Structure 1
Amino acid sequence: MTGSAPSADPGGLPVLAHLEEAVALAREGLDHDDGEALAAVAGSVSWVQTEAYRQDPPHGNFLDGYAHATFLGPTDGGQGPTPAAAAMGLLLLAPGVVYPHHAHPADEVYLPLTEARWSHGAGAPFEVATVGTALHHRPWQPHAMITDARPLLALYLWTGAVTVPATWTRGDSPAEAP
């Protein structure tokens, strides 16, 4: 896939229509080789939605604008033959998506590859995070994201209880209204 941008699977998730744009935006801040690697990975991984989110979405249009792809570690709560202590992957949010405050027992680090607004605690303000700056969320620390006119693509690393899904912490911020 060298040199090519990923394309959405027409039978896949609606958010994948924004994958090509997100990768192109992310590549602007990367050197050539890293940009090639990102395009190859983003276009070859399996994009999914967390089953717990599918069963209890936070608002009506959330699932149309959200997907993630785990390329290291268990996917969507699966254990495999040996419990994993880490999971790494990509998060994709479409433009105009509110990913409300949520929390989980895993320790998490995000590396935003494109711009979005982030909140790092219940009631904390939403602020633009600098692309390429590591964002750390301790276990059970509420955090949220909002995209504006452009999609968010972020690398994530979970450690610890990576097979336990996040739970919504509804009502933390008026900015979370759908």
Structure 2
Amino acid sequence: MDGDHISEATTIAIGEKKISVIGKGKDKSSIGTGALSSTGALFSVSTGYLEMSHLKVDCNSSANPSPSVVVVSDGGGSLSLEDVVIATSKTGNYVLSSSVFVVPLSQLSMVDGEIINMNVSKPLFSEPDLSSSSSSSLSSSALYLTATASGESMLVNVKVTNVKLTEGDGVAAAKSVKAGKIFTVQNVTIDD
């Protein structure tokens, strides 16, 4: 999963099932975006549950806009990231031009993660464009979004280092948490 296997062009659609992508460690296992199309995603989650653990997401695609790794529709699908580092092996003036993860705020969790050494012109995490919903008018300039599938939002043990937003205001969350829900930030470090 190092991004060098450019022959694959298909996505994996996840329905009702729970699917886990578990690496041997983020220093050894990686998913590279270099093999992905800018018009699709590696994982498309509708009503299933996707967990990604112990690996690195290397944003190494030269496509513009940058391809997404996971897209979660505004339904019963959810995404969990645990012990994941999101970084890029690209150097120089390379700028990530679209979101790596597109997922509703209430359907994403991130625990023990790192986001390091990136220039981004769009948020790393963004919500789907729901043109039929009032949420479409909300700001899309979020650096990251995170929450659990139950709607109790969490950002736990996350380190953000040397991530520069080249456009937008860089707010942490573009969607407010509904009344009765919880937003928790624990042991989060943001540098540079």
How does the TM-score come out when normalised to structure 1? 0.28
Structure with a larger share of its residues in strand: 2
Greater length-normalized contact order (CA 8 Å, ≥ 6 residues apart): 1
